[in-house]
Amino acid sequence: MYRTQANARSFKLFSATAIVLALMVMSVVGAAYAECQPGQIQEANLAYQSAARSLQNQQWDEAINRLNSIVGMCPEHVPANRGLGDAYMGKGDSAKAVTWYSKVITLRGDGVEAGDFAKLARAYATLKKYPEARAEYMKAQSLAPDDCGVLFNLGVMHYASGYHVQSVEALEHALEVCPDIREPVLKQLSKSATAAAQQQRKMGNNDKAAYYDNLMNKYGGAAGGSTAYDLAVQKFKAKKYAEAATMLEKLVQKDPKKAVAWLTLARSYDATGDKRGSIRAYGKYFELKPRDSKNMGTYIQVMVEGGQCSAAAAKAAQASKDLASLGRKNLAGIYYSWGLALECQEDYAGAKEKFQLSASSGNSRYAGPARTQVGRMDDFMKMTDAQRRKAAQKR
């Protein structure tokens, strides 16, 4: 999560000189611990200087001991209470941090700041209490409407709590006012827009769903390769192959060296029945990844299914030579698809030989199917011989 601007200011206080720190403590929190006696306030402020250095050096146990001593003599000392929250967060004890951050908010009353709510929200978030974290970030945003850390984290907590439309709204605001965190905002925006579209579709709001689908495409594409690809994969896994292909075409135009995008594009086209598009995408993929024997077999099979049997057989022959060093087990898919290509050309004897190579390669994935194909080729050869004998008798 991103630090809020208020948090950043608090960190600078800890690095100030002792004199400035003491003056700030007196001026900011004097009213908040009015029950402390003047002598106790002065002593607490002096003790806090050492505790602040321990916090800054991430000496959590030492800081906790010193801060506990301070709140023991002056329970309303706001920096000490806040420091205990910070120290427990540093130690990974978010539950205790919640207690101390909550006390800070109570002590500060009308003087509470966005950073106070943001600290409590972060503690809740690390406990995976997302609705509680969301509520605190909403309070922070009401005090600091353009704070980049608050806006981004509020968008994330809206998303985690199932308020996807509100997540999009918060993140679009962040995108407008926070250019320095554009990339993470875009990545989360694309996720939030996707979830908002699904949510609206379930509610029967198809027009709104289409609106958020468009936002998803807009922000997913703008976010860069990895996010756009992730969104396309989501479409592919949801069996929305045409939509995945459309997204991937845009991606490979922007980044033609992204091999995995070409591979998923090939699979998407194959799933839609567009063999020509699939063959084209596979070709681009293998220009980048020529030694991928596993997917080479699939590529050759798609060529066969696309009616390019002669070209598929030639591709298989060349691949078996180029990739021979990988061993027969890794070439099982190529042998199998080579058999399909030869069968397509009615070369059943040649096909049987390739299926036998696949079956005996040691690759368990192909052993059974390849043996079945060997039997089929025997049947085809018997049938062909019978037809030839019958034709000869007629002559």
For the chain, the structural domain boundaries read: 1-140, 290-395
pLDDT average, residue stretch 195-200: 93
Contact (CB, 8 A) for 366 and 330: no
pLDDT at 222: 65
DSSP percent split of the chain into helix, strand, coil, nearest 5: 85, 0, 15
Could you tell me the pLDDT band of residue 69, with boundaries at 50, 70 and 90?
A: very high
DSSP letter at 212 equals H
Half-sphere exposure of 310 (CA within 13 A, CB side): 0
Please provide the average confidence, as pLDDT, over all residues in the chain.
88
Q: From residue 381, how far is each of 37, 163, 374 by CA, in Å?
A: 105, 64, 11
Enter the tokens of residue 334. 């190529």
CATH number at 1-140: 1.25.40.10
Q: With 50 as the cut, is the pLDDT of residue 33 above it?
A: no
pLDDT at 214: 85
Contact (CB, 8 A) for 76 and 107: yes
Q: With 90 as the cut, is the pLDDT of residue 114 above it?
A: yes
pLDDT at 289: 94
Distance from C-alpha of 320 to C-alpha of 324, rounded to nearest angstrom = 6
Over the stretch 158-179, which tens digit does the pLDDT of each residue have? 999 999 999 999 999 998 889 8
Contact (CB, 8 A) for 250 and 221: yes
pLDDT at 135: 97
pLDDT at 226: 55
Percent of the chain with pLDDT over 90: 73
pLDDT average, residue stretch 89-94: 96
pLDDT average, residue stretch 34-46: 80
pLDDT at 35: 67
What CATH architecture does domain 290-395 belong to? Alpha Horseshoe (1.25)
Over the stretch 209-245, which tens digit does the pLDDT of each residue have? 999 988 887 787 666 555 678 888 888 988 999 999 9
Q: Taking each helix axis as running N to C, give the angle between helix 259-272 and helix 241-254, from 0 to 180 degrees, rounded to the nearest 10.
A: 150
Over the stretch 316-370, which tens digit does the pLDDT of each residue have? 999 999 999 999 999 999 999 999 999 999 999 999 999 999 999 999 999 999 9
Contact (CB, 8 A) for 24 and 16: yes
pLDDT, greater one: 247 or 357: 357
pLDDT, greater one: 60 or 7: 60
Contact (CB, 8 A) for 140 and 150: yes
pLDDT at 23: 29
- Which of 3-7, 192-196, 389-393 bottoms out in mean pLDDT, i.e. has the lowest? 3-7
